[in-house]
């Protein structure tokens, strides 16, 4: 074999390897984008939920003004949820907001006029709808994270994923509040 043929063969092999690396890199980029997009979907649902809280607090305040402590806890939890960053911190803050909202809804049992208020009922329905959408968005996010983590752990990506900045992502873990949040909020009239 001539030296020219060896050089051309070597160049062809290097080109094939380069295209293969580009292909693996691009698939990892697509997986990472899917994770980021799916977390953004969760964030949209959480923002909608947080936007309901002031209306809910104002509605309850009109009927149960002496329940100031509960109302302040809801507002405090909402503010903490709004400043949370990343899946782990967001999950913890949103879990606390969910707990305070449950205590707020428990007040409606003590105030029949509040329970019968159409605005309050609509806010409860909206919140239940958002909770269902959030559950679906969390499942989609965790699926995207699982695919991404599997993608960077598979050979051949495993060999160079870390050097390209692809690191393991965390799941959206609800922690101790998983049992409470997996139940759809009950809307009683």
**What pLDDT, on a 0 to 100 scale, did the predictor assign at position 130?**
94
Q: What is the CATH number of the domain that holds 170?
A: 1.20.1440.20
- 123 is a domain residue: yes
DSSP state of 184: P
With respect to residue 73, please indicate whether it lies within any of the assigned structural domains: yes
**Per-residue pLDDT reduced to its tens digit, 39-66:** 999 999 999 999 999 988 888 888 877 7
Smallest CA-to-CA distance from 78 within 127, 135, 18, 28 is with 127
**Predicted local distance difference test score (pLDDT) of residue 175:** 65
Q: Is residue 68 part of a domain?
A: yes
pLDDT digits (tens, 9 = 90+) for 99-110: 999 888 888 888
Domain span at 73: 3-182
* Domain-located, residue 189: no
CB atoms within 10 A of CB 67: 16
Which regions in the chain score pLDDT beneath 50? 180-181, 185, 187-189
Query: What pTM, to 2 d.p., does this model score?
Result: 0.78
If we measure between CA atoms, which residue out of 7, 26, 30 comes closest to residue 18? 26
Q: What is the tally of structural domains in the chain?
A: 1
Q: Is residue 125 part of a domain?
A: yes
Residue 101 CB partners (closer than 8 Å, separation 6+): 53, 56, 74, 77, 127, 185
Residue pair 157/24 in contact (Cβ under 8 Å)? The answer is yes
Q: Is residue 108 part of a domain?
A: yes
Query: Does 187 map to a domain?
Result: no
């Amino acid at each position: 074999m001539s030296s020219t043929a060896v050089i051309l063969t070597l160049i062809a092999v290097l080109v094939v390897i380069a295209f293969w690396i580009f292909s693996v890199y691009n698939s990892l980029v697509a997986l990472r984008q899917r994770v980021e997009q799916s977390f953004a979907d969760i964030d949209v649902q959480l923002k909608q939920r947080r936007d309901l809280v002031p209306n809910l607090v104002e509605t309850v305040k009109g009927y149960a003004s002496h329940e100031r402590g509960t109302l302040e806890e809801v507002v405090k939890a909402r503010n903490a949820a709004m400043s949370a960053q990343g899946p782990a911190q967001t999950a913890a803050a949103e879990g606390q907001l969910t707990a305070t909202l449950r205590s707020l809804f428990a007040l409606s049992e003590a105030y029949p006029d509040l329970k019968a208020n159409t605005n309050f009922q609509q806010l409860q329905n909206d919140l239940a709808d958002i909770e269902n959408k959030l559950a679906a968005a969390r499942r989609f996010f965790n699926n995207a994270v699982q695919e991404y983590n599997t993608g960077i752990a598979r050979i051949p990506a495993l060999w160079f994923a870390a050097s390209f900045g692809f690191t393991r992502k965390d799941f959206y873990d609800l922690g101790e509040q998983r049992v409470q949040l997996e139940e759809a909020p009950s809307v009683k009239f």
